[in-house]
Chains A and B, each alone.
Chain A
């Protein structure tokens, strides 16, 4: 139903959109892709940074072999990458007794089951440690934590789901951090418990007693007295003194502290990637606005007579100008909506991939200030792209364009 004023203008703009539906939709799609790429790049980096920083499992620092702090964190807390080397059991005992150290849990890695990492540690990690303030690990009903000296396993929730492991299941570990069928160990482990989901990398590993890794059949004898890393929670300003002791004065171990800062600097190193993607997005957005302009411009050649008819019916110059601008904004509005959808899809896929690969759970996409700003920026782009064609509509010559065509 047509009503005077805005509804008439929107009606005519929608008719114009429909008459050039294909090129209008291509313009909208281009804008949606550009802005979606821009928004998702921006948000994924931000969310991933936040999610990784929150997924350190409640530890302040990691002590490991001399080497990269980032590699140490990725290996010990996120169960990614190879271990940079080992520490001796004595080094673990030393740090455990160091003043300012609240908790110290040794871990040992080097084996997997069907691609999922086996991590050896002490059972009190699951009873004493809070992976988030006020949150201890919980074992699903019917299960329990492994005992220190038995060949028992406590399975992270994601592994249990992926491999359909249940309490009482038995399995052979495989040597190495990646699954190779020929490197099966003869030891047999029994699943005694399944962990409740935490949304941290702990969900995607199989936890066993540290002695299990140390004494696994086929392992080098030196492993029996070594650990891959020590996970630490610290009191007060102990981090500074430990940093001085291990990183600045010592040369036998590396203290990765503070975890959040090291992860933050890692994400900052990815800025170039964000810059490149942003540049691409800006270019695509520019092309999108050019497509809007070209669509409206070519449509104007056909619509100029239509505008002359409207003027003859009593439409003002302002009315026909607004029709073109409304059509332009319509295209960019659809593009803006599409960009939200597109960024939501990219975000969902990325979040799923990150969860699968790292166990880190990213928060769902939210409509925040950046989203709103991008949305209105797209409408502005649409408005600007429509200015010249709108001016052409404004200046339409009635008597010239109402002449019969031969």
Chain B
């Protein structure tokens, strides 16, 4: 489903040589697979996810999602692919504060070109916020906000869900609930899940676990020391 080969990404440093941040020889995720990746903060995990999401372009190498090579797509094509095939959940939720929970979810659908209000409402109901769908993020608890973000990320039935420290801002009870919903929804929607976390307890719950420091040939933490 997702195949990564010879992937490298560097960031330019002022007055110095470019600093390699990501250097992955091979990496793949099977369809419907859920896996967790752990590693230190600042070690390039988010950059790796941004590369997989088509937000960043690699310096070299290939990322192939369902047979489509991301680097050969135009920016607009990558935007559309991201809207339709990739869900992204962030540590700080990234909800639009001026929009209600339902509007946040509907917006994600509109960029994929397929607005189905009933389905959006169903997804919000599925994350346990049926009574709160017309509330704005400021009127929701952090746990509820992350559930809205989750509904938004899965509303377009993506093949791949990327979750970057999704429980980082949640208390243990909310973290467990959100994680549970996320895994169940991925299962229901046949979506693959790649979750990134530095929390060992979170990672321990996954069958397949990846140590980012082993996968990544570059070590930006060592470079910046």
Contact = CB atoms under 8 A, between A and B. Distances in A.
A18 B110 contact: no
Contacts of A305: 94
B64 interface: no
Interface string B93-107: 011111100010011
A12 B110 CA distance: 12
Nearest to B92: A404
A313 B111 contact: yes
- Interface of A, secondary structure class, is helix
A312 B75 contact: no
A15 B100 CA distance: 11
A312 B103 contact: no
Interface stretch (A71-79, A209-217, A314-322): A314-322
Nearest to B95: A309
B110 A3 contact: yes
Interface in A1-30: 1-5, 7-8, 11-12, 15-16, 18-19
A306 interface: yes
A285 B30 CA distance: 60
A313 B152 contact: yes
A313 B98 contact: no
Nearest to B113: A4
A18 B98 contact: yes
A398 B98 contact: no
A162 interface: no
Interface residues of A, number: 32
A313 to B, nearest CB: 5
Contacts of A316: 75-76, 79-80
Contact of B111 (A1, A8, A402): A8
Contact of B79 (A18, A19, A309, A315): A315
B50 A314 contact: no
A272 to B, nearest CB: 49
A398 B75 CA distance: 13
Contacts, number: 89
Q: Which of A12, A306, A309 has the most CB of B within 10 A?
A: A309
A296 to B, nearest CB: 15
Nearest to A308: B94
A70 interface: no
B112 interface: yes
Interface stretch (B82-90, B170-178, B191-199, B205-213): B82-90
A402 B110 contact: no
B147 to A, nearest CB: 17
Interface in B35-65: 46-47, 50, 53, 55-56
Contact of A1 (B98, B117, B168): B117
A311 B152 CA distance: 14
Interface string A284-317: 0000000000000000000001100111111111
Q: Which 7 A-B pairs have the closest CB atoms?
A: A314-B83, A314-B111, A8-B110, A4-B110, A15-B98, A404-B92, A2-B106
Interface of B: 46-47, 50, 53, 55-56, 75-76, 79-80, 82-84, 88, 90-92, 94-99, 103, 106-115, 117, 152, 165, 168
6 contacts: A2-B103, A2-B107, A8-B107, A11-B107, A313-B83, A316-B79
Given A15-B99, A306-B98, A314-B79, 15 more contacts: A2-B109, A4-B114, A11-B103, A15-B96, A306-B97, A310-B111, A312-B94, A313-B152, A314-B80, A314-B108, A314-B112, A316-B75, A316-B79, A398-B50, A402-B90
Interface of A: 1-5, 7-8, 11-12, 15-16, 18-19, 305-306, 309-319, 398-399, 402-405
